[in-house]
Structure formats: structure tokens, C-alpha cells
Amino acid sequence: MSVIKSMKLNRKNIQSRGLGDSIHKITQATGIKAVVDKVNKVTGKDCGCSERRDTLNRLFPYNK
């Protein structure tokens, strides 16, 4: 198995801490994150995704 393929599999197996992590996984799987990253590069503006992800994880955690 290639290194890149194993990295992708490992990333998907990481347990979500909360809603923000789940949304992050969905946007990566659908390709939305790649589009947002390209737009960010062109415009030079940060989308605030990481801050939003952390906030959603704090507000809606997956407690065990």
C-alpha cells in the first residue's frame, strides 16, 4: 500500500471530538475543502475553517 493511501486511511479512522471534526471530514470527502483552499489562495483571505471547527467541537462535543 502506498504511503499516501495509508495516510488517507489513517486520517479517516481518527475519532471525531465533536461536530466540527465531523463536518471537516465531510468537506474533505466531498471536495469542498479543496475548493475553499483554492479560493483562499487566490483571494489571500482565511476562511476561518479551523476556528469554526474548534468552536463547533467545544459547543457540540461527542462525550463518551
Whether residue 13 has pLDDT greater than 70:
no
In a domain, 27, yes or no: yes
In a domain, 23, yes or no: yes
* Mean predicted confidence (pLDDT) in 27-49: 95
What is the predicted pLDDT for the residue at 63?
Answer: 85
Whether residue 42 has pLDDT greater than 80:
yes
pTM listed for this prediction: 0.72
Element (H, E) at 7: helix 3-13
Which sign does the torsion angle of CA 23, 24, 29, 31 carry? positive
In a domain, 64, yes or no: no
Q: Kindly report the backbone phi and psi dihedral angles of residue 14, in degrees, each rounded to the nearest multiple of 5, phi listed first.
A: -70, 130
What is the predicted pLDDT for the residue at 28?
Answer: 95
In a domain, 16, yes or no: yes
* Mean predicted confidence (pLDDT) in 7-33: 84
What is the predicted pLDDT for the residue at 3?
Answer: 45
Question: Total structural domains in the chain?
Answer: 1
* Mean predicted confidence (pLDDT) in 26-49: 95
- Domain range for residue 30? 3-59
Three-state secondary-structure class, residue 18: strand
